[in-house]
Chain A
Amino acid sequence: MALKIVKGSIDRMFDKNLQDLVRGIRNHKEDEAKYISTCIDEIKQELKQDNIAVKANAVCKLTYLQMLGYDVSWAAFNIVEVMSSSKFTYKRIGYLAASQCFHENTDVIMLTTNQIRKDLSSPNQYDTGVALTGLSCFVTPDLARDLANDIMTLMSHTKPYIRKKAVLIMYKVFLKYPESLRPAFPRLKEKLEDPDPGVQSAAVNVICELARRNPKNYLSLAPLFFKLMTSSTNNWVLIKIIKLFGALTPLEPRLGKKLIEPLTNLIHRSFSSRVLIFICFGFFKLAHKKSFSDVIVSLCYITVLISLSSGMPNHSASSVFLRISVVKYLGLLAMSKILKTHPKSVQSHKDLILQCLDDKDESIRLRALDLLYGMVSKKNLMEIVKKLMIHVDKAEGTTYRDELLTKIIDICSQSNYQYITNFEWYISILVELTRLEGTRHGHLIASQMLDVAIRVKAIRVFAVAQMATLLDNAHLLTGNMQRNGICEVLYAAAWICGEFSEHLENPVQTLEAMLRPKVATLPGHIQAVYVQNAAKLFATILKNQEGNTDSTAAQETSQMMIDRLPLFVQSANLEVQERASCILQLVKYIQKLQQKDVEVAEEVSALFAGELNPVAPKAQKKVPVPEGLDLDAWINEPPSESESEDEQPKAIFTKEEPKHSRPRHTEVDEKELARRREARKQEQANNPFYIKASPSSQKVYQEAPGVEHIPVVQIDLSVPLKVPGLPMSDQYVKLEEERRQKERAEKKKKEKKKRKEKRSGRGKKHDSGPESEEDITPAHVVDIVTEEMPEKSSKHKKKKQKKEKEEKEKKKKKKHHHHHHHSDGGGEESVQNGTVEEEEPLTFLVFPLPRKVCDIQGNLQDGSQVVVSVIFENKSDSFLKSMEFNVLDSLNSKLQRPEGSGPHDGLTVPFQLPPGVSNEARFVFTVQSIVMPQKLKGTLTFIVKDSSTHEKLDFKLHFTCTSYLITTPCYSDAFAKLLESGDLKSSSVRLEGVNMPFHHLLARICFHHHFSVVERIDSCASMYSRSIQGHHVCLLVKTSGQTVSIDAKCDEPTLLGNVLDEIKQTFSQC
């Protein structure tokens, strides 16, 4: 042994250690890659040696290389080796390497479970600490599930050092394995009052993070936190607590009032320590209910202002980080908080904020932009946007410019274009924006154009004229053939020109522009719109020319269409091709008719007749449901796990239920619904990978559903664009001024009259504006549809929506169900009562495996014991011995082990297996709750006699709910009494297409699910069974044709639901 150590250390002398490696890399600046590849070769050699010190050194070096960006995943197994060293020095290095290199998909992680568990229970607190730290970086759902118990125990460790870490890591565990939250929460709550401030703060941290996800569940903790807040002196803890209250106050308004006092105290304290200005920060976040006195608000506000305008933080120079720029940033941030509650006070400092737009620092500019959004009014909108447009021109860097662009559009379009008084101006702004180089927001501009053109009727003439120019100059936008974002605008332009073609001055020219060969280089969806709208234009042209005696002009147009359209017919894009070939044939036919002097215009334009109406987002509600249409009826068979436990029918068993339909749903009371919704949401929230669907943007133009989905492409224009013939938006600012002046003069005359008049032009929306603003009448009126009913809303649409919704809900339920029942998230469930599912053998296991089958039986004597008999059959050709059976215990069920053995030791199987022989072994499990089915993971290790190697076999034990049932005879009178007692919950299930005689069916249920028949009358039978914990399960089975309905009652609804599921599965497989 000593020799080995000596040898090892002598080896070491010739190895590079980390410092040498670093030095080497620094000295080989020119051929770093080459040097490192030789180093990696050396490391590979070192990893092959037995000496753990050498290995640790190698792993340490690898960690460094990993940081430099080299792939070291090949060494994962060596890292595990180093991790499992008994020496702290190596263990520490191993865990560090693991925490840096492992991620969820690293497959060796599953090998570490036992090692980590051992380290967690190590007597040395630093071993435990290192393991916890490492675990926090690479915890996977499997690890979380297997180790949740151990970490929970550590939460009440004697050393605060460990407690603290264990509490913090619990949050990670909750994320990966949400089921652990419930059992762990009481202990977590206890930790809030831990004597050690570190542990306390950790607990506050975790609960705060949890509450941020789902504040409702934590409202009950408010008093506790309130106490903590008033007593704690640890600022870090206080910050967290206030954050938590921030999440809670929206749910419980009274809390806000109660918080005022302690918060003001805190603020006074911070004033007295003369430090900072930004006290208002979180404060304003809380103040959203306006529960705080204005005095304090303005006080804070003034201080922010001072710091902003003077640019010189008064006392903060002493503070380490508060540079002027930082102060500015924070000031703006604070302002944006104030803006929500006290918009007026911010609005008065427009100049200051506009100044910040000129700042060198992009972060500050972005903050200032944020503020602008809330500051605009009818009066200053044009001015602000003008300023922004100047910035757009000056801005360097596409990200900032894009940000400006979106902000401009946001500002203008906010609350239904509330602040826009002149839409001609807005259209020209949009057109100007199309000249931006390299923007990726073409689709945004396009959607605005469409929106405005559709909703503001008065603007259409102008918009169409603008769009026609835009189309005419399309070559400028698409300049150098690059696929770019801005060409999306053409989509809108083409559509507007086509749809409102009656306003076009020169439709033929526009049509010509739309059919240019160059169009074929545009993205497919835009071409499609071009083609379609060319047809619309064509119809208009025909109509215009109909009156003329000379029909040659019309025929020329048709000829042009016929000449140009084949280009599109050849398009690779299906949509374009299809539309083009349709329209081409149509035009050919029209041409034929024209040659016969038939008047076709009327019929052609009938193709595109009808006006497009904006629809309010909520209009759907107003559509009455036609009689005889039952929207709540199930269209498909409802999911089997229907919430029938909520029902309480009067009859012992519900009579024939014709359909699982509406009543079932409507009877579910509000509370229950809310609870379920909550559960679902919580599940979603707990699922770190659940991505919430973004709220669908309810735009009014339904004709252009593709706009949002248009792929965003980059523009790369080298030449700045000057579109000829496009008006400049600036002129509108002047015009607007004049208009307003005129209006004012006029108004003075009519003032008295007007007062009495009701303002009818604008909707209610604008009542909120200040008086002075109300005086500015807009030049155009937006169609603000709020609750009107749309003309063409079809009824079947609603049905469809509903159906979709239902389906979604079903899916969610299903998901929930799965989630609940087996933690491994699905896979096929075995119907056979307690089958062992063999997992795929690990790759390094090449040995022929023995087969096993097992039976799980409840123990009647002891309500919490289950006996599992496993049949081991050796299908290999070798002799197997020293078999050890081990199962990873879960919170609910544990393998009973002989006294004196540890909780993770395996049980020896008391026999050996010659080839081809099978034998049975029994194992006893302790189960706490029997209402849910469960899967336990386990391993069987054994030694093959010939090769004397250890082999391992992974399996899963599936404890179905049925296995907890015990066949118990019952007499019909006792049975009736039981049913009448009324404390049983009922549920039912329907089986379709069961093609077997009734007595077979009954036998099947008896055999597979441990029931006994109480009474049988014709095609109807009652059955009974008991669980090991004494739950009564009663069934009423009825059959008619191929349909079997099972009504069931049990005092434990969850158990019943699961048993029914299992029964259903049995029959679905036969």
Chain B
Amino acid sequence: MFALVANQKVVIDWPCFWVVLGGSFLPRGVYTVLLFKMQFMLLFSRQGKLRLQKWYVPLSDKEKKKITRELVQTVLARKPKMCSFLEWRDLKIVYKRYASLYFCCAIEDQDNELITLEIIHRYVELLDKYFGSVCELDIIFNFEKAYFILDEFLLGGEAQETSKKNVLKAIEQADLLQEVWWFQIWPLSLLVFSRISPAKPRHEYFNVPVY
């Protein structure tokens, strides 16, 4: 069984170098419009299929589609050993591949690449904890859960909760609230319950080496 973060030891106590890595200290144009830290986050597969998208900037659907298409192509064209950063239009793209999934974030010029990598990694860890060694299919079939986790972790492009434990706790309690309802109808229809509750399809996994 292949998990996205298997055998990647998680560095728990982040060293203080993060501290000094803080983004640019001289904003280029102080009065240029600074929107949110993270502009958007995309999850897509090696085949270029979008698995998750979260936009923190208001854009029309058409633009979103265009950006997604271009970005997926650019990122997929890069070789595995290349570095995780890339300048695209006036944004910086930070991406990382976990098994068959690419996690890709867009940040502004002044923002810090490393912290974004860290955010991506955190998110993957959260998914991993929640689903119990997560795989791409978990995200496909429970995409709303993946969104819920993301929403608990990031709000409007900012990391809102840095403690993994707290995020998971919030999600679990919210899930509990949701589950109550399923138990209400569950005597009525066993069938419904078994179909709706997140049954994890574990039959196919991609055997892709972990980077």
Q: Which residues of A contact B (CB under 8 A)?
A: 5-6, 9-10, 12-13, 17-19, 22, 60, 63-64, 67-69, 71, 73, 87-89, 92-93, 96, 99-100, 103-104, 124, 126, 129-130, 132-133, 136-137, 161, 164-165, 168-169, 171-172, 175, 198, 201-202, 205, 209, 212-215, 234-236, 238-240, 242-243, 245-247, 249-250, 263, 266-267, 269-270, 273, 275-276, 278-283, 285-286, 288, 318-321, 323-326, 328-330, 360-364, 366, 681, 684-685, 687-692
The listed residue (B21, B117, B141, B147) touching A281 by CB distance below 8 A is: B21
Contact present for A69 and B65 (CB under 8 Å): yes
What chain A residues lie within 8 Å of B192 (beta carbons)?
9, 12-13
Write the nearest CB–CB distance from A199 to chain B, whole angstroms.
10
| A306, B118: Cα distance in complex, Å | 24
What chain B residues lie within 8 Å of A319 (beta carbons)?
11
The listed residue (A132, A235, A363) touching B16 by CB distance below 8 A is: A235
Contact present for B155 and A165 (CB under 8 Å): yes
What chain B residues lie within 8 Å of A92 (beta carbons)?
148, 174, 178
What chain A residues lie within 8 Å of B152 (beta carbons)?
133
Contact present for B25 and A266 (CB under 8 Å): no
Write the nearest CB–CB distance from B135 to chain A, whole angstroms.
14
From 136 to 190 in chain B, residues with beta carbon under 8 angstroms from any chain A beta carbon are 140-141, 143-144, 147-148, 151-152, 155-156, 158-163, 166, 170, 173-174, 177-178, 181-182, 185, 188-189
* Sample of 18 further A-B pairs with CB below 8 A, known A282-B25, A321-B121, A692-B31: A12-B192, A17-B196, A68-B50, A100-B147, A126-B177, A129-B170, A168-B155, A266-B16, A267-B20, A269-B15, A279-B20, A325-B84, A328-B83, A361-B79, A361-B83, A362-B86, A689-B33, A691-B33
Contact present for A270 and B19 (CB under 8 Å): yes
Write the nearest CB–CB distance from A318 to chain B, whole angstroms.
7
The listed residue (B53, B144, B158) touching A96 by CB distance below 8 A is: B144
What chain B residues lie within 8 Å of A270 (beta carbons)?
15-17, 19-20
Contact present for A5 and B141 (CB under 8 Å): no
What chain A residues lie within 8 Å of B81 (beta carbons)?
323-325
Write the nearest CB–CB distance from A24 to chain B, whole angstroms.
12
The listed residue (B86, B143, B173, B177) touching A363 by CB distance below 8 A is: B86
Contact present for B15 and A168 (CB under 8 Å): no
The 10 closest A-B CB pairs, nearest first, are: A246-B25, A325-B83, A285-B25, A243-B22, A270-B16, A275-B15, A136-B156, A282-B20, A270-B17, A242-B22
Contact present for B26 and A19 (CB under 8 Å): no
| A137, B112: Cα distance in complex, Å | 23
| A10, B185: Cα distance in complex, Å | 11
Write the nearest CB–CB distance from B31 to chain A, whole angstroms.
5
What chain B residues lie within 8 Å of A245 (beta carbons)?
25
The listed residue (A172, A275, A363) touching B83 by CB distance below 8 A is: A363
What chain A residues lie within 8 Å of B189 (beta carbons)?
9-10, 12-13
Q: Which chain B residue has the least Cβ–Cβ distance from A248?
A: B25
Q: Which chain A residue has the least Cβ–Cβ distance from B179?
A: A89
| A267, B79: Cα distance in complex, Å | 34
The listed residue (A104, A137, A246, A280) touching B22 by CB distance below 8 A is: A246
What chain A residues lie within 8 Å of B19 (beta carbons)?
235, 238-239, 242, 266, 270, 282
The listed residue (A132, A275, A685) touching B17 by CB distance below 8 A is: A275
Write the nearest CB–CB distance from A93 to chain B, whole angstroms.
7
What chain A residues lie within 8 Å of B50 (beta carbons)?
67-69
Does B114 lie at the interface of the complex (its beta carbon under 8 Å from any beta carbon of A)?
Answer: yes
Chain A CB count within 10 A is highest, among B96, B156, B159, B174, for B156
From 81 to 105 in chain B, residues with beta carbon under 8 angstroms from any chain A beta carbon are 81-87, 96
What chain B residues lie within 8 Å of A236 (beta carbons)?
18, 159, 162
Q: Which chain B residue has the least Cβ–Cβ distance from A25?
A: B140
Contact present for B20 and A63 (CB under 8 Å): no
| A104, B159: Cα distance in complex, Å | 23
| A11, B156: Cα distance in complex, Å | 38
Contact present for A685 and B31 (CB under 8 Å): yes
A318 and B9 contact, Cβ closer than 8 Å, known pairs A5-B185, A88-B174 = yes
| A687, B31: Cα distance in complex, Å | 10
Q: What are 13 A-to-B residue pairs whose CB atoms are below 8 Å? A: A13-B189, A19-B141, A73-B61, A165-B160, A171-B156, A209-B34, A242-B19, A246-B26, A250-B26, A270-B20, A282-B23, A323-B83, A364-B83
Write the nearest CB–CB distance from A147 to chain B, whole angstroms.
15
Contact present for A168 and B158 (CB under 8 Å): yes
What chain B residues lie within 8 Å of A104 (beta carbons)?
58
Contact present for B21 and A323 (CB under 8 Å): no
| A214, B33: Cα distance in complex, Å | 11
Write the nearest CB–CB distance from B74 to chain A, whole angstroms.
10
Contact present for B13 and A273 (CB under 8 Å): yes
Q: Which chain B residue has the least Cβ–Cβ distance from A265?
A: B16
Does B207 lie at the interface of the complex (its beta carbon under 8 Å from any beta carbon of A)?
Answer: no
Contact present for A681 and B31 (CB under 8 Å): yes
Write the nearest CB–CB distance from B59 to chain A, whole angstroms.
8
| A22, B60: Cα distance in complex, Å | 25
| A53, B117: Cα distance in complex, Å | 39
The listed residue (A9, A96, A201, A366) touching B147 by CB distance below 8 A is: A96
What chain B residues lie within 8 Å of A323 (beta carbons)?
81, 83-84
Write the nearest CB–CB distance from B5 to chain A, whole angstroms.
9
Q: Which chain B residue has the least Cβ–Cβ distance from A329?
A: B83
Contact present for B31 and A9 (CB under 8 Å): no
What chain B residues lie within 8 Å of A275 (beta carbons)?
15, 17
Q: Which chain B residue has the least Cβ–Cβ distance from A69?
A: B65
Q: Which chain B residue has the least Cβ–Cβ distance from A160?
A: B166
Contact present for B158 and A205 (CB under 8 Å): yes
Contact present for A89 and B163 (CB under 8 Å): no
Chain B CB count within 10 A is highest, among A73, A99, A133, A201, for A133
| A263, B17: Cα distance in complex, Å | 10
Contact present for B34 and A286 (CB under 8 Å): no
Q: Which chain B residue has the least Cβ–Cβ distance from A691?
A: B33
| A1021, B188: Cα distance in complex, Å | 85
Contact present for B155 and A133 (CB under 8 Å): yes
Write the nearest CB–CB distance from B110 to chain A, whole angstroms.
8
The listed residue (B112, B141, B148, B191) touching A22 by CB distance below 8 A is: B141
A93 and B11 contact, Cβ closer than 8 Å, known pairs A202-B160, A209-B37, A326-B84 = no
Does B52 lie at the interface of the complex (its beta carbon under 8 Å from any beta carbon of A)?
Answer: yes
Contact present for A126 and B173 (CB under 8 Å): yes
What chain A residues lie within 8 Å of B35 (beta carbons)?
175, 688
Write the nearest CB–CB distance from A678 to chain B, whole angstroms.
11
What chain A residues lie within 8 Å of B79 (beta carbons)?
360-361
Q: Which chain A residue has the least Cβ–Cβ distance from B18?
A: A235
Contact present for A326 and B10 (CB under 8 Å): no
Contact present for A263 and B20 (CB under 8 Å): yes
Q: Which chain A residue has the least Cβ–Cβ distance from B198?
A: A19
A198 and B166 contact, Cβ closer than 8 Å, known pairs A325-B82, A326-B83, A691-B33 = yes
Q: Which chain A residue has the least Cβ–Cβ distance from B24?
A: A285
The listed residue (A63, A69, A161) touching B170 by CB distance below 8 A is: A161
Contact present for B16 and A267 (CB under 8 Å): yes
Q: Which chain B residue has the least Cβ–Cβ distance from A95?
A: B151
Write the nearest CB–CB distance from A282 to chain B, whole angstroms.
4
| A89, B183: Cα distance in complex, Å | 12
Contact present for B17 and A67 (CB under 8 Å): no
Write the nearest CB–CB distance from B178 to chain A, whole angstroms.
4
Contact present for B162 and A326 (CB under 8 Å): no
| A273, B30: Cα distance in complex, Å | 35
Q: Which chain B residue has the least Cβ–Cβ distance from A10?
A: B189
Contact present for A9 and B185 (CB under 8 Å): yes
Contact present for B22 and A282 (CB under 8 Å): yes
A281 and B20 contact, Cβ closer than 8 Å, known pairs A103-B60, A319-B11, A321-B96 = yes
Q: Which chain B residue has the least Cβ–Cβ distance from A370?
A: B87
Q: Which chain A residue has the least Cβ–Cβ distance from B155?
A: A168
A168 and B156 contact, Cβ closer than 8 Å, known pairs A242-B20, A283-B20 = yes
What chain B residues lie within 8 Å of A129 (beta carbons)?
170, 174
What chain B residues lie within 8 Å of A325 (beta carbons)?
81-84
Q: Which chain B residue has the least Cβ–Cβ distance from A281?
A: B21
What chain B residues lie within 8 Å of A130 (beta carbons)?
174
Contact present for A234 and B174 (CB under 8 Å): no
| A691, B33: Cα distance in complex, Å | 7
